[in-house]
């Protein structure tokens, strides 16, 4: 009997543990499930980037992005295109696998159903207007109206160059009705201009792009300095006025021989809204490494920046331009930083649940144990009150039989060791009620 009693006192009630522990466990499981709904999957190991035509600026930059992302285990797949317009079409097409694409400022703007976000301004894309020197013997061309009636290469139909050329030429009354416009790509335009099959060519791209470089050094080819550049920036707000200083391309050969005024849209990198945030962070880091240096038209650190180009800036880009590289990626490998970042989303709500559960579950358990003891006290109190009020209502044996039933229930009651003082006090009070019964039923 004594051994059984010790066993009951030393062990917690399994029933109480289950009734308190199971709801607590269920609450934590529900919290875990709810938190899991907000966790993005691990970043994919591949990113598809829509670029441009052969030898274009977009292709050159994509090759450098690929090197940067490879250091983090991300394979950048370049998808060539006709240019900015096609890149935008691909990004808007849900059937296209493209994740991101270079887009020239002014090519398009955000629509009501667009889910495209900008990563900011990356670099200037000057508009280079080359023409054959024999078009202006003894002088130079500086206005687009002077190209009316000529043969002009304005880039592929799906390119930003084509769209920009049509807008500027149209503003000057130069159209397909009075001028021969051809959809030749950059390198084809170079060949046509050199061979005399074209009189002028519009090319949008960096100084180091293959087509621009070839024409800057070509004999008999001149670069137009746009005299009305300031007017274009007012009429077309996405354009900037730039100056190419004399000798900036080649000091030894004095290329160009004089300052040249150009107009330039701004390039951006667009991503779909569902692109993984970790990949966006890496693209921004690559953009900083690739575009952040000095150049003919920019100062160190000028690009990339948070200027919006036709589309809203992504939340990740806003944070990046404000705070820089994500905190964890400054000290941990990319895979570890992204893993911890994902786990934090789960740990925060779990801790918010776990702390109160750990605090209140023991209190709830203690309340259940005490409630059983208090229930037995209630039975004793009612029995004692009946005996005091009408001791003759039952025989002494009947009173004692009721008390023995209460005592048997007390002895069977599982009570943790921490509540043994209350348990023994209850047993002592059982003895006091027994004395009351004996005294009130005539036993001295």
Q: Where are the beta strands (DSSP E) in 100-234?
A: 100-104, 116-124, 127-132, 151-153, 180-182, 200-204, 221-223
30: pLDDT confidence band, cut at 50, 70 and 90?
Answer: low
Q: Which residues of 33-69 are buried (b: 16+ CB within 10 A; e: fewer)?
A: eebeeeeeeebeeebbbbbbbebbbbbbbbeebbebb
* pLDDT reading at 4 higher than 60: no
Structure tokens, 341: 């970042």
Which positions ≥6 away from 347 have C-beta within 8 Å?
none
Query: Can you give the C-alpha Rg of the chain in angstroms?
Result: 41
Cα–Cα distance, 200 to 209 (Å, whole number):
18
* pLDDT reading at 45 higher than 70: yes
pLDDT computed for residue 122 by the predictor: 94
Residues 101/269, Cβ–Cβ less than 8 Å: yes
Sheet harboring 221-223: ordered strands across?
Answer: 180-182, 151-153, 200-204, 127-132, 221-223
* pLDDT reading at 16 higher than 60: no
Cα–Cα distance, 94 to 272 (Å, whole number):
10
The domain segmentation of the chain, as residue ranges, is 2-34+348-440
Find the range with the poorest average confidence among 64-73, 142-151, 316-325. 316-325
Question: pLDDT of 370-429, one tens digit each?
Answer: 787 888 888 888 888 888 888 888 888 888 888 888 888 888 777 777 777 887 888 888
Q: Which of 147, 151, 155 is nearest to 189 (CA)?
A: 155
Percent of the chain with pLDDT over 90: 52
Structure tokens, 314: 């992504």
Residues in the chain: 444
Cα–Cα distance, 402 to 346 (Å, whole number):
56
């Amino acid at each position: 009997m004594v051994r059984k009693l010790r066993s009951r006192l030393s062990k917690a009630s399994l029933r109480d543990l289950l009734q308190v522990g199971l709801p607590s466990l269920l609450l934590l499981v529900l919290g875990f499930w709810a938190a899991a709904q907000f966790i993005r999957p691990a970043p994919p190991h591949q990113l598809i980037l829509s670029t441009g035509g052969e030898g274009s600026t977009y292709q050159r930059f994509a090759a450098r992005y690929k090197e940067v992302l490879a250091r983090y285990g991300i394979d950048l797949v370049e998808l060539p295109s006709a240019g900015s317009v096609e890149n935008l079409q691909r990004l808007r097409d849900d059937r296209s696998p493209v994740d991101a694409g270079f887009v020239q400022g002014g090519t398009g703007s955000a629509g009501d159903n667009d889910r495209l976000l900008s990563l900011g301004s990356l670099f200037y894309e000057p508009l280079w207007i080359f023409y054959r020197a024999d078009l202006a013997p003894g002088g130079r061309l500086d206005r687009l109206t002077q190209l009316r009636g000529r043969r002009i290469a304005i880039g592929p139909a799906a390119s930003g160059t084509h769209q920009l050329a049509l807008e500027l030429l149209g503003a000057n009354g130069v159209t397909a009705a009075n001028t021969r416009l051809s959809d030749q790509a950059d390198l084809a335009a170079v060949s046509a201009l050199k061979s005399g099959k074209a009189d002028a060519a519009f090319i949008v791209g960096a100084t180091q792009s293959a087509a621009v470089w070839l024409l800057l050094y070509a004999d008999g080819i001149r670069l137009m300095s746009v005299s009305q550049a300031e007017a274009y920036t007012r009429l077309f707000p996405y354009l900037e006025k730039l100056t190419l200083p004399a000798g900036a391309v080649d000091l030894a050969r004095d290329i160009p021989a004089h300052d040249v005024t150009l107009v330039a849209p701004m390039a951006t990198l667009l991503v779909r809204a569902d692109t993984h945030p970790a990949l966006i962070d890496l693209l921004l880091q690559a953009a900083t490494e690739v575009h952040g240096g000095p150049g003919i038209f920019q100062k160190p650190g000028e690009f990339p920046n948070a200027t919006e180009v036709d589309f809203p800036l992504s939340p990740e880009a806003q944070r990046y331009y404000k705070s820089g590289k994500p905190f964890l990626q400054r000290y941990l490998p990319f895979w570890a930083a992204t893993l911890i970042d994902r786990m934090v989303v789960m740990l925060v709500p779990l801790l918010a649940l776990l702390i109160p559960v750990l605090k209140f579950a023991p209190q709830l358990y203690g309340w259940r144990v005490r409630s059983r003891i208090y229930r037995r006290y209630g039975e004793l109190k009612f029995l004692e009150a009946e005996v005091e009020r009408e001791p003759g209502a039952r025989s002494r044996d009947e009173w004692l039989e009721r008390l023995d039933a209460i005592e048997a229930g007390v002895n069977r009651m599982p009570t943790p060791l921490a509540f043994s003082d209350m348990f023994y006090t209850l047993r002592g009070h059982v003895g006091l009620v027994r004395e009351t019964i004996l005294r009130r039923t005539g036993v001295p």
